[in-house]
Structures are given as structure tokens and as C-alpha cells.
Amino acid sequence: DTEVTQTPKHLVMGMTNKKSLKCEQHMGHRAMYWYKQKAKKPPELMFVYSYEKLSINESVPSRFSPECPNSSLLNLHLHALQPEDSALYLCASSQDPRNQETQYFGPGTRLLVL
């Protein structure tokens, strides 16, 4: 398996809802990432997990809560989001966080907050 997968593909949620995004890879990669991408903009880093531990949090609001249950899975828990949080949420992975390894992106979850 040489892909990063993400579920769901699309998500519509209200500002009081709680939902989760899921990312999975079976390439043995030990670094996993969450990015947020607004239309016509580059991906914006949110979180980095290295060896299942949170290593980078780019000052993301607490309504976004990441979780890495094991080396293959990455979740992003969403609660009390705002309409401006509507975006494409991309997961990525790379082989070894200590080295200059390529990041591979999943297809993303397109989130709409009403």
C-alpha cells in the first residue's frame, strides 16, 4: 500500500457539532501531518507527529484536537468550529522525521462549517 487515505471525503457540520477526520497510511512512515488548505492558497501546516508524539503545533486553536493512536493512524477531532474553518484538510506522511524525506499527501477532507 503506497497511499495515504482519508475519511470522510466531504463533511458538513454545524458550529455545535463534534466530528473527527481520519487519516491512515501503511507505508511504515513515522511522521504524520495535518494541513489546512483554503481555496487558491498553499497548504498550511497545523500539526506534526513524529514517532506517534506531537512534535509541532502551529498555534492551532484548541477546537482542533489531534490524536495519533498508532503509527498508521492520525485523527483530527473537531469541536465548536467556526465558518472560517471551512477548508480542505490534508493529511500527509513521510518516512523518517529526522531526515529530509518526501511528504506524501492524502486526498483530503473537504469541510464545510455552517
Q: How many residues belong to the chain?
A: 114
Tell which residue, 108, 103, 110, has the closest CA to residue 29: 103
Residues 89-108 that bind other proteins (CB under 8 A): 90, 94, 97-100, 102-108
80 binds other proteins (CB under 8 A): no
Q: Which of 13, 56, 60, 80 binds other proteins (CB under 8 A)?
A: 56
**Stretch (H or E) spanning 48:** strand 44-50
Residues 23-42 that bind other proteins (CB under 8 A): 31, 33, 40-42
Compute how many residues bind other proteins; rule: CB under 8 A: 24
Give Cα separations from 45 to 13, 14, 15, 17, 77 (angstroms): 22, 24, 23, 24, 16
Residue 90: CB minimum distance to other proteins, A: 7
Q: What angle do CA 70, 59, 84 make, to 5 degrees?
A: 100
Residue 48: CB minimum distance to other proteins, A: 5
48 binds other proteins (CB under 8 A): yes
Sign of torsion over alpha carbons 40, 42, 44, 48: positive
List contacts with other proteins (CB under 8 A). 31, 33, 40-43, 45, 48, 50, 55-56, 90, 94, 97-100, 102-108
